[in-house]
Amino acid sequence: MTNPALILAHEWIGLEVEIIDSPNKYEVGIRGEVVDETMKTLKIKTDRGIKVVAKRYRTFKVKFGDRILKVKGDLIAYRPEDRIKRGIMMIKRAKGKVWI
């Protein structure tokens, strides 16, 4: 079984995500496949096109292997390559902010 905290150091491109909490009520419910990622945003391919959403201040529901996880966007608001390199440190920092 995969450790859920590994999602913080994992590549997000190709993962299925849904926004479940956001300061922008119009973003809640956006779901699809992550097709690109920057330090501050995710590009999500939806049925209605590509949506670019900020990572910070959002909570994402992510399909990771055979699990569905909730991840606070602030925990992944790094350049993807830095997040992957610093994965262990971020996993320790997450304590309780990744839910099954």
- pLDDT at res. 100: 43
* Rounded average pLDDT over 92-96: 62
| Closest C-alpha to 52, from 32, 70, 68 | 32
Tokens at 53, concatenated = 């959403």
Q: Which residue has the higher pLDDT, 89 or 30?
A: 30
**Extents of the domains making up the chain:** 4-93
Name the amino acid, one letter, at 46: T
Among 3.40.630.10, 2.30.30.210, 3.90.320.10, 3.50.50.60, name the CATH number for the domain at 4-93: 2.30.30.210
25 has pLDDT over 70:
yes
5 has pLDDT over 90:
no
51 burial type by CB count under 10 A (0-12 exposed, 13-18 middle, 19+ buried): middle
Q: Which residue has the higher pLDDT, 88 or 17?
A: 17
36 has pLDDT over 70:
yes
- pLDDT at res. 2: 65
| Closest C-alpha to 22, from 31, 10, 11, 14 | 31
Other C-beta atoms closer than 10 Å to the C-beta of 66 total 7
